[in-house]
Each structure stands twice: as C-alpha cells, then as structure tokens.
Amino acid sequence: MSGFVDTRYSNTTKNRLTPLMQWFEVNIGPSWRSEALCAQTDPEAFFPGKGGSTQEAKRVCADCTVRKQCLDWAVEHDERFGIWGGMSERERRRYKKRMRAQRQV
C-alpha cells in the first residue's frame, strides 16, 4: 500500500516524516513508514503528556493497516512511551500479561 494517503488525516501533516516515522524507518524499515497511518497525523497525539488524552491517537490506530505489527513490535521491545498499535503503555503491559497467561494454558 505504498504511497497511500488517507485524506481523513492528511490535512495536518501530509507526507511529513514525523519523529515516530523516523524511528520506524531506522528500526523497522521503510515498509512500515509507508503504511503507518500516524505518518499523516500530528505526532504529538501519540506521545501525550501526563494526563493527556490518548483518544485521537487511538482513533488513528484503529484505522491503521499495520496496527498488529506495530503492537507486536512495541510489546516485544517493551516500548515504554507513547501509543503503539492503539494501546497505551499500561494497556500494552496488560495485553502482554494476557498473552503470556494464554500461552501457559
């Protein structure tokens, strides 16, 4: 889906390489950057300050085609900050615990 631009999110930072996307490019590879919907949005929404809302980022993640890969990567690497794969750090910890528990059954 290279070159895909979802016009619902493109009016703010269309085609801008956000810090999150720069990180993707260095650590995961260009395929993620080209498919990650957050590349077309305000990167600050993905790293809200303490007590800040996560809803805008989660709304974008809900429509993202690489959500599963993003979440798996963040869980595997114990990513501590930001919204990844539609989950906050706390939600990812719970998700990881559930996954571990399911593997032990």
Hey, which residues between 79 and 98 contact ligand SF4 (CB under 6 A)? 83-86
Chain Cα centroid distance, residue 66: 8
Sketch the per residue contact string, 4 through 23, with ligand SF4: x for CB under 6 A, - otherwise: --------------------
- Among 9, 18, 38, 54, the residue binding ligand SF4 under the rule CB under 6 A is 38
Got the DSSP string for 52-75? Answer: ---HHHHHHHHT-TTHHHHHHHHH
Length, in residues, of the chain: 105
Regarding 33 and contact with ligand SF4 (CB under 6 A), the answer is no
Q: How crowded is residue 41: how many other Cβ atoms within 10 Å of its Cβ?
A: 26
CB of 66 to ligand SF4, least distance (A): 5
Residues annotated as binding site for [4Fe-4S] cluster?
Answer: 38, 61, 64, 70
Residue whose CB is less far from ligand SF4, 59 or 98: 59
Intra-chain end-to-end CA distance of the chain, in Å: 37
